[in-house]
């Protein structure tokens, strides 16, 4: 089963976004599942597929995951509005 994973961190907090054909898309913060989505397609490169605010060391951070999936899957992870990991599109 094809699987794509994009990871980054804020301090000691790990952030991982995982996408598979059969298990959908999942956002993990410190290995805890915080968002799950089973959409089959994502054609909008400009709107976040997943958006989640988290608190790390007393500061609020915005995680935005952009997914473009048609024939293959491209994933870009932004933290606080800036590119952090994954594909650049």
On the question of pLDDT at 70 being above 80, the answer is: no
Written as one string, the DSSP assignment of the chain is --EEEEEEEETTEEEEEEEETTTEEEEEETTEEEEEE--S-B--SSS-SEEEEEEETTEEEEEEEEEEESSSEEEEEEETTEEEEE---
Please tell me the predicted confidence (pLDDT) of residue 74. 93
Does residue 4 have a pLDDT over 60? yes
Residue 57 domain boundaries = 3-86
Domain at 44, CATH number: 2.40.128
pLDDT for 8-50, tens place per residue?
999 999 999 999 888 889 999 999 999 999 887 788 899 999 9
Q: Is the model's pLDDT at 1 over the cut of 80?
A: no
Kindly state the percentage of the chain with pLDDT values over 70.
Answer: 99
* Number of domains the chain contains: 1
Q: What's this model's pTM, rounded to 2 decimal places?
A: 0.89
């Amino acid at each position: 089963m094809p699987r794509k994973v994009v990871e980054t961190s804020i301090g000691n907090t790990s952030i991982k976004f995982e996408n598979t054909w059969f298990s959908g898309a999942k956002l993990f913060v410190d290995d805890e599942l915080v968002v799950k989505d089973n959409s089959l397609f994502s054609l909008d490169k400009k709107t976040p597929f997943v958006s989640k605010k988290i608190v790390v060391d007393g500061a609020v951070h915005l995680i935005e995951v952009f997914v473009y999936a048609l024939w293959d899957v491209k994933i870009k992870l932004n933290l606080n509005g800036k590119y952090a990991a994954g594909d650049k599109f």
